[in-house]
Amino acid sequence: MIVTFPHMGEMYIPIKVLLDTSDIDYIIPPYRKKESLEAGVMHSPEFACLPFKTILGDFIYGVENGANFILFGGGCGQCRLGYFGDLQSEILRSLNYRINFVCVDLSNLSIKEVLKKIQPLTKGKNKLKIVKGIIYAIKTVYMIDNLSKLSRYTRCRETNKGDTDRIISNLHENIQNEKCYRAIKLLIKSARKKIKKIPLDKARRPIKISIVGEMYVAAHPYINFEIEKKLGNMGVEVYNNLCISNWITEHLIKKMLPFKLKNKPIEAGKEFIRTDDIGGHGMHTIGWSALSGKRNIDGVIHIFPFTCLPEVIAQCTFSEIQKKYSIPIMSLIIDEMTGEAGYITRLEAFVDMLEQKKLIKYTPS
């Protein structure tokens, strides 16, 4: 059994750790390859969202290069993510690929069910190693996300432009060749140390922008044209709560607790939409935009793929949020046709506008 999996930001590192530790063979699709995206677009329905198309493209690449097992997380509810797995396996089957497509229901995850479903993978493998792999993978997720959090802080303050980016891209290059958890952990730690040593301009007060919207697009730099890097190099401090570690904390760890914790963004979002769930991350988008307004953040960038159902509803509330918390919100809609130049222009214009606004606010009259 050879496994393949789709990319989502830096998720490939923890998955690599998991599969290496538990001795499972795998194929990683190339991180930025136009051909695999094009293959995905070709075989997807026209109005499917971009995540669907990129994921399908990655699967097709993996299957063509020898993978025969796909493990994918679905769910239920109104967001179409729940039905990605079913449709993708249908498409791959009609393209005459012979694969084992396993879909795990993420919304009510039970360990028993998951173990049963991945049986063909784990047969004859050391169980202890798999458990170890899962723990290592989760640890790696948190390490990676903490590193990118740190890099968001330094990127906008560094005195020599490009220091942070250089360290991060070095790290990614080195990780490709490593095979065991310990080496990857050391690499991440040393990168962290290096980033901490970058000379910073501590007196600088950068403008702050928070990114809200659909998680896959917000977390996958290849699709969002490295929005964090671009904004950071324009001298903007980026806040992005849409990362895997937050998802794990919210959906796995908090669910296991015997008591229920209030979900802050959802509570904040209820001010505008009086229900718990409009599918996907819709409520989070509304909530985080409102919270950003309360927390002295200068602007919000709302990023989502074309035809994303929940985000369109979230977008309807923005005129109200902008008025109430006087925070500018810009919506960026991304699909496979989005051009990078026009995208940069919009980012620059938005940042310019925020800088002007801040200047007026802090200039004594």
Judged by the rule CB under 8 A, the positions of this chain that interact with other proteins are 44-49, 76-80, 82-83, 86-87, 90-91, 94, 272-275, 277-280, 282, 306-310, 312-313, 315-317, 319-320, 333
Residue 306 three-state SS: coil
Torsion of CA 335, 336, 341, 343, to 10 degrees: 10
Q: Which residues pair with 72 in a beta bridge?
A: 103
Output the smallest distance, CB 30 to other proteins, in A.
26
Q: Are 104 and 71 in contact (CB under 8 A)?
A: yes
**C-alpha 201 chain-centroid distance:** 29
Q: Which is nearer to other proteins, 7 or 53 (CB)?
A: 53
105-114 burial: b if 16+ Cβ within 10 Å, else e: bbeeeeeeeb
Output the smallest distance, CB 116 to other proteins, in A.
17
Q: Which residues pair with 243 in a beta bridge?
A: none
How much of the chain is in helix, strand and coil states, percent to nearest 5?
Answer: 55, 10, 30
Output the smallest distance, CB 89 to other proteins, in A.
9
Q: Which is nearer to other proteins, 47 or 362 (CB)?
A: 47
Output the smallest distance, CB 318 to other proteins, in A.
8
Q: Which is nearer to other proteins, 70 or 91 (CB)?
A: 91
Output the smallest distance, CB 308 to other proteins, in A.
8
Q: Are 280 and 81 in contact (CB under 8 A)?
A: yes
Q: Which is nearer to other proteins, 55 or 138 (CB)?
A: 55
Output the smallest distance, CB 225 to other proteins, in A.
20
Q: Which is nearer to other proteins, 169 or 319 (CB)?
A: 319
Output the smallest distance, CB 271 to other proteins, in A.
10
Neighbouring residues of 195: CB distance < 8 A, sequence distance ≥ 6: 147, 150, 151, 154, 164, 167
Output the smallest distance, CB 239 to other proteins, in A.
24
Reduce the secondary structure of 24-56 to three states and give it as a string.
Answer: CEEECCCCCCHHHHHHHHHHCCCCCCHHHHHHH
Q: Which is nearer to other proteins, 46 or 173 (CB)?
A: 46
Greatest CA span in the chain, whole angstroms? 75
d(CA 76, CA 345): 37
Q: Which is nearer to other proteins, 174 or 331 (CB)?
A: 331
Question: What are the counts of helices (DSSP H) followed by strands (DSSP E) for the chain?
Answer: 18, 8
Q: Which is nearer to other proteins, 101 or 350 (CB)?
A: 101
Output the smallest distance, CB 322 to other proteins, in A.
11
Distances (CA, A) of 306 to 45, 70, 100, 309: 13, 26, 30, 9
Q: Which is nearer to other proteins, 35 or 320 (CB)?
A: 320
Q: Which residues pair with 334 in a beta bridge?
A: 305
H or E segment and range at residue 334: strand 329-334
